[in-house]
Structure 1
Amino acid sequence: MRFYYDLHLHSCLSPCGSDEMTPADLAAMCALAGLDIVALTDHNTCGNCAPFCQAARERGLLALPGMELCTQEDIHVVCLFPDLDRAEAFQRLVYDRLPPLPNDPAIFGRQLRMDREDTVLGEEERLLACSAAIAVEEVPALAAGLGGVAFPAHIDRPSYSLLGVLGLWDPSLGFPVAELSHSCPPDFPNRPDLAGVRFVTNSDAHYLDQVWGAEHAMDLPDRTAEAVLDWLRAPKK
């Protein structure tokens, strides 16, 4: 069965995300866009995943909890998990490795925690717009240890990307797939170092009008979190 996906979305908990990216409004926009499978991946936190997953489920979507981790090298990596318990376990690990700095909303933006009805529960006080003391080479095993999958985000971009920082794709890092941005140059995937690499493309939406329509699809035996994660783990055919 074919399902349309977007596995890289931000809510108002991301400091660079719009305050309009509330869990319920984001889930509603994903449903209107014709998506079937979605994932919330705020910067260095899973704090809004529970209300988003519930709001998405109420609208007939499968939602995976996740995070866009910023590694100590300033590389963004999308990490997805099969359930909230394991996502929150990963969050605790990341929080332990974030610098003890407070957020300044005037500089970085507000970090809003909400419930499924979009009631503001408070603001995350720790700074999320920073690097965790986690090396990029650690991330695949850390995610896999909690039943999840990690892949480097928007590798075609010059900043906050694996290729932008390291200069080339290193298969020994163990990432099963890589993300290309929607504006990726057509010839970029033909780089010699990317031979044999599987790609996904997501919106990386920070604003409601950045949520795409049904454009990118995966073929799955059933619509479950484990089927999605298995699809991401599968080698390139």
Structure 2
Amino acid sequence: MDKVAIDLHVHSILSPCGEEEMTPNNIVNMALIKELDFIAVTDHNSAKNLPAVMAVAKELGGGLCVLPGIEVTTKEEAHVLAYLPTLAAAMALDQIIYDHLPEVMNEKELFGPQYIMDENDKVIGEVDKLLISATDIGVNQLWEMITNLGGVMVPAHIDRNSYSLIASLGFIPLDLDIKTCEISKKETVESVLKKFRFFKDYQFIHGSDAHQLEDIAEREYFLELPDMQRQTLINYLG
């Protein structure tokens, strides 16, 4: 087994709350500087910067593997992380999610820009709908969508008092085949289990939820995996 360093919750400039420094090249280079093995760029309700991030990681090499991801807001206003095995699967989910967002346009003077970039950090477009809106997709329906694409759902920052499945529902639906939950970097597994005893049957990952470069995790959160394949990580999480 290899001990791999992860940060599976990073936002790019596409997320309206992401800083302008969160470009594809900056994210990948910072992850390499911090000697991470796996990262996931998980923008709010969109995967449109994943092609650039993955192209940069491939071009630069260095052993960094990018797991395609999206942070989806369900109709219950819960944040969940969708991890997909391929870029094509992530882009398919991206289109589904976009179609389920309300017709609320982004006001970038208020919320910030939602830039789509290429592998040279050039702005090639913007997303018009406000990406921090809640979709009209329920958590059970979203789980089925992600699973049908070969992916896995991980409830995001379940320790938080807002925008988590626990804050929104008070529980994780037992009919969903969920194996892994994410906890905030300020928490420990022990502290979460002390507050929520029913989580004893789940495994946990930490995520930085980085919106600026300095917040991308150091080499501090580890998993033991037999190899550095995306599918291996998907299998572990699900």
Query: What is the TM-score of this pair, normalised by structure 1?
Result: 0.95
Q: Which residue of structure 1 aligns with residue 61 of structure 2? A: 59
Q: Which residue of structure 1 aligns with residue 86 of structure 2? A: 83
**How far apart are the structure 2 equivalents of 1:46 and 1:27?**
16
**How far apart are the structure 1 equivalents of 2:202 and 2:168?**
18
Q: What do the CA deviations read for 1:119-167 (whole angstroms, capped 9, x no partner)?
A: 1112211211101110012222211110111111000010100111112
1:204 partnered with 2:209 = yes
Question: Is the Cα–Cα contact under 8 Å of residues 114 and 120 in structure 1 kept in the other structure?
Answer: yes
**How far apart are the structure 1 equivalents of 2:222 and 2:143?**
23
Deviation at 1:206, TM superposition (A): 0.4
Q: Which residue of structure 2 aligns with residue 167 of structure 1? A: 170
Question: Is the Cα–Cα contact under 8 Å of residues 112 and 120 in structure 1 kept in the other structure?
Answer: yes
Amino acid at match of 2:165: L
Q: Superposition pairs for residues 78-157 of structure 1, below 5 Å?
A: 78-157=81-160
Instruction: Give structure 1 stretches of 5+ with no counterpart.
Output: none
Amino acid at match of 1:146: L
Deviation at 1:35, TM superposition (A): 0.2
Q: What do the CA deviations read for 1:21-73 (whole angstroms, capped 9, x no partner)?
A: 00110110011111001111000000000110121232321101110000001
Q: Superposition pairs for residues 203-222 of structure 1, below 5 Å?
A: 203-222=208-227
**How far apart are the structure 2 equivalents of 1:29 and 1:76?**
25
**How far apart are the structure 2 equivalents of 1:149 and 1:126?**
25
SS of alignment partner, residue 187 of structure 1: helix
Question: Is the Cα–Cα contact under 8 Å of residues 28 and 59 in structure 1 kept in the other structure?
Answer: no
SS of alignment partner, residue 68 of structure 2: strand
Amino acid at match of 1:200: I
RMSD: 1.2
Deviation at 1:224, TM superposition (A): 0.8
1:226 partnered with 2:228 = no
Question: Is the Cα–Cα contact under 8 Å of residues 169 and 194 in structure 1 kept in the other structure?
Answer: no
Q: How many matched pairs?
A: 233
Question: Is the Cα–Cα contact under 8 Å of residues 11 and 42 in structure 1 kept in the other structure?
Answer: yes
**How far apart are the structure 1 equivalents of 2:171 and 2:103?**
32
Deviation at 1:194, TM superposition (A): 1.1
Deviation at 1:220, TM superposition (A): 1.5
Q: What do the CA deviations read for 1:177-218 (whole angstroms, capped 9, x no partner)?
A: 100001126522232221211111011100001011111111
Deviation at 1:18, TM superposition (A): 0.4
**How far apart are the structure 2 equivalents of 1:100 and 1:6?**
32
Question: Is the Cα–Cα contact under 8 Å of residues 50 and 65 in structure 1 kept in the other structure?
Answer: no
SS of alignment partner, residue 126 of structure 1: coil
Instruction: Give structure 2 stretches of 5+ with no counterpart.
Output: none
Deviation at 1:169, TM superposition (A): 3.5
Amino acid at match of 1:215: E
**How far apart are the structure 1 equivalents of 2:184 and 2:124?**
32
Amino acid at match of 1:64: L
1:11 partnered with 2:22 = no
